[in-house]
Amino acid sequence: MKPSTNRMLTRIKSIYVFIKEKGTVTTQELVDEFGITPRTIQRDLNVLAYNDLVKSTHRGYWTTTEKKVRVSS
């Protein structure tokens, strides 16, 4: 796997875990927490949403779904 792909997957997993721990977060909270651009956060959220791991409760607010996930290190 390319280093950039590995970095992206690690970041997406971290975002998922952050949302899971906080319950509901805003896109801006994610930008502030991870120090990346709003566009990159949105792309990562789209990946998570496509895989039915997060959903937007209303514009700009995100929470995890009930889908069972095992997060490895």
Please give the domain boundaries of the chain with CATH numbers for all domains.
Answer: 3-64 (1.10.10.10)
Q: pLDDT tens across 9-40, in order?
A: 999 999 999 999 999 999 999 999 999 999 99
pLDDT for 27: 95
pLDDT for 73: 65
| CA–CA gap between residue 32 and residue 49 (Å, rounded) | 20
Which spans in 2-65 are helix H?
3-22, 27-34, 38-50
- Is the CB of residue 19 less than 8 Å from the CB of residue 67? no
pTM: 0.90
pLDDT band with cut points at 50, 70 and 90 for residue 1: confident
Is the pLDDT assigned to residue 48 strictly greater than 90? yes
The residues near 45 (Cβ < 8 Å, ≥ 6 apart) are 15, 27, 30, 54, 56, 62
- Is the CB of residue 29 less than 8 Å from the CB of residue 60? no
pLDDT for 16: 96
